[in-house]
Amino acid sequence: GLLWATNGACRGFHPASPHLSGVEARRWNDHDRPKEFNFASDVLDYWTQVEEEGKRPPRPALWWVNEQGDQVKWSFRELTDFSRRTANVLTQACGLRQGDRLALILPRVPEWWLVAIGCIRTGIIFMPGTTQMKAKDILYRLQASKAQGIMTSDTLAPEVDSVASECPALKIKLLVSDHSREGWQDFQSLLKSASPDHTCIKSKTLDPMVIFFTSGTTGLPKMAKHNHGLAFRSSVPSCRELLQLKTSDIFWCLSDPGWILAVLGSMIEPWTSGSTLFIHNLPQFDPKVIVQTLWKYPITHCLAAPIVFRMILQKDFGSLRFPTLQYCLTGGEALLPEEQQQWQRQTGTPLHQAYGQSETGICCGTLKNMESKPGSMGKAILPYDVQIIDSKGNVLPPNTEGNIGIRIKPTKPLGIFMCYENDPGKTAETECGDFYNTGDKATIDEEGYIWFLGRSDDVINSSGYRIGPAEVENALAEHPAVAESGVVSSPDPTRGEVVKAFVVLAPQFLSHDKAKLTKELQEHVKSVTAPYKYPRKVEFVTELPKTITGKIKRSDLRKKEWGQVSQDEAR
Ligand code: BCO
């Protein structure tokens, strides 16, 4: 029972109608730095007004479907109204204020978009999180951010309740559900009674907008805080070149709403161009459903992690010549040149790479009309100045391995994160001379194309997920069989890398069946933290390589795993 589920076509939706292109709708230049910017009022309400002035026929802003055949279609007018109501729910019914934090942990349901936009309208800082999280992950996020509110669904509400008493700042729990739950506010009923009149805040571009939790080599995930510049960046002409979306385009980004890729791809990018955002609720990932969806709906552009394209190519689906698909973009992990070429051959549509992080948004890519060099992530996208730097922040010449850096001095470009919240030390560690150091290694060629090589630290990138080894080691340490463990990446043909745990067993477990123990440890990790982090490979060892101070030398384990070959060579 979605409040707004419809089964018919959207009013006034004419696929063949003339359109304004995103390019014509440009209002800013690459180097503009407006003092004030708000994605809701400057972009969404802009398109609503354009439609109301009859400058283009109404088109769906959002088109949501599920496997049961339900669908939701909203015009920009409806999106504006619903998100204004949501803003009133958040501020009036829930009493949240500008600067408060709201954890937003929902599957792909339309409410996610309303709340994200409602937060932007009110200046409430939203913190997206994947629904794979477990109670402990949620507790950490609520405590670290001192969140005043959380919004989630039935599945995670009990997990939240199990830790809520340890979160003194938490005063609002909002539920998206058909049932009521004690201690929780029912979002849909609040929405029904909320007024559609709301005045958007006049946010400064440098005011905080969103926080993403992102994993690092050590410790728990860091809070990468972004201002409204993240949304503004997508409005500048150079960034529009990446996808060159037109208002008639239908754009599908498959990323889970917990990641920055979804905030950009499932919200900012398509709506900046006045295009239709397509969403499939995808409760479980199944390549067959992706292929069927591309056959069934008039999707023109698709953005997904490389693993999605790879998994489709690895299965035999017959023809992949989708009727309306024109262009695909990928990011989040490396894509092999042969995979890119195979996709292009089989579908007849280009598949380009882009690159970015939770800290940076998309910072380079092969633009839609740019010549693609298979295996390269494309070129820097203005106004970012992306260079390959050494450990002191010196710019390296072409074809020399170094770290990917983005110039932040003398002026920090809009779009890059503000800081790791509450962690000036870790923020400072990312600064290297005049650059933000991504920690990713690459080379740049004479033409400015960037070639990814791998991480320069212990962070694991599996299927597009950034995984901190310490998070997995800590989860393993909670199991009585584990005396200690070292967690590193290991090559994998589908996931690029997977998490591998080298485990030293506690003496009383030495005689246990190893296959059973492996399964048990995997299930244990899945039960105490978000399951995407679980070690897909486990090896039992008698000791771990250590430094003289007793620190586990993950680099030795990694070398063993990758057979002494560097990660890029192995790919
Ligand atoms: O493979 P297994 O079956 O053994 O385990 C899977 C799931 O079955 C399991 N699981 C999931 N939910 C669970 C659960 N187990 C218990 N309880 C639950 N509630 O855990 C494992 C999770 O692994 P997965 O998520 O990789 O699963 P799957 O189905 O293989 O998903 C495939 C993809 C492609 C959907 C997934 O890997 C994916 O979404 N990858 C892309 C990530 C992404 O979007 N990255 C972008 C980050 S943003 C960025 O990079 C910056 C760019 C500007």
Confidence of residue 8 (pLDDT cuts 50, 70, 90): very low
pLDDT of residue 26: 60
Q: Could you tell me the distance, in angstroms and rounded to a whole number, from the CA of residue 292 to the centre of ligand 1?
A: 20
Q: Could you tell me the distance, in angstroms and rounded to a whole number, from the CA of residue 400 to the centre of ligand 1?
A: 34
Segment 361-366 mean pLDDT: 97
- Look at ligand 1, atom 20, and give the residue with the nearest C-alpha: 531
Task: Outline where DSSP puts E strands in 138-202.
Answer: 149-153, 172-176, 185-186
Ligand 1 nearest atom to the CA of residue 331, by list position = 52
pLDDT of residue 456: 86
pLDDT of residue 18: 40
Segment 260-271 mean pLDDT: 97
Is the pLDDT confidence value at 567 over 60?
A: no
CA 130, CA 417: separation in Å to the nearest integer?
20
CA 90, CA 510: separation in Å to the nearest integer?
54
Is the pLDDT confidence value at 59 over 90?
A: no
SS3 assignment, position 195: coil
CA 107, CA 105: separation in Å to the nearest integer?
7
Is the pLDDT confidence value at 4 over 90?
A: no
Task: Outline where DSSP puts E strands in 187-234.
Answer: 208-214, 222-227
Confidence of residue 13 (pLDDT cuts 50, 70, 90): very low
pLDDT of residue 425: 97
Confidence of residue 56 (pLDDT cuts 50, 70, 90): confident
Q: Which residues pair with 356 in a beta bridge?
A: 362
- What are the φ/ψ torsions at residue 73 (nearest 5 degrees)? -130, 125
Confidence of residue 509 (pLDDT cuts 50, 70, 90): very high
**Per the structure block, which two tokens stand in for 2?**
């979605």
- ipTM for the predicted complex comes to 0.96
Is the pLDDT confidence value at 386 over 80?
A: yes
CA 285, CA 315: separation in Å to the nearest integer?
14
CA 450, CA 445: separation in Å to the nearest integer?
7
- Residue 473 CA, chain-centre distance (Å), reads 24
Residue with tokens 């803003």: 87
Q: Could you tell me the distance, in angstroms and rounded to a whole number, from the CA of residue 307 to the centre of ligand 1?
A: 10
DSSP 434-474: TEEEEEEEEEE-TTS-EEEEEESSS-EEETTEEE-HHHHHH
Confidence of residue 17 (pLDDT cuts 50, 70, 90): very low
- What are the φ/ψ torsions at residue 21 (nearest 5 degrees)? -90, 160
Is the pLDDT confidence value at 333 over 90?
A: no
Is the pLDDT confidence value at 493 over 70?
A: yes
Confidence of residue 320 (pLDDT cuts 50, 70, 90): very high
pLDDT of residue 272: 96
Is the pLDDT confidence value at 252 over 60?
A: yes
Residue pair 167/147 in contact (Cβ under 8 Å)? The answer is yes
Q: What number of other Cβ atoms are within 10 A of residue 383's Cβ?
A: 19
- Look at ligand 1, atom 11, and give the residue with the nearest C-alpha: 531
pLDDT of residue 570: 47
CA angle, corner 5, sides to 276 and 108, nearest 5?
A: 60
Is the previous residue joined to 383 through a cis bond, with omega within 30 degrees of 0?
yes
pLDDT of residue 460: 96
CA 381, CA 360: separation in Å to the nearest integer?
12
CA 90, CA 201: separation in Å to the nearest integer?
13
Is the shortest distance between the CB of 287 and ligand 1 below 6 Å?
A: no
Mean pLDDT of all residues belonging to the chain = 93
Is the shortest distance between the CB of 308 and ligand 1 below 6 Å?
A: yes
- Look at ligand 1, atom 4, and give the residue with the nearest C-alpha: 536
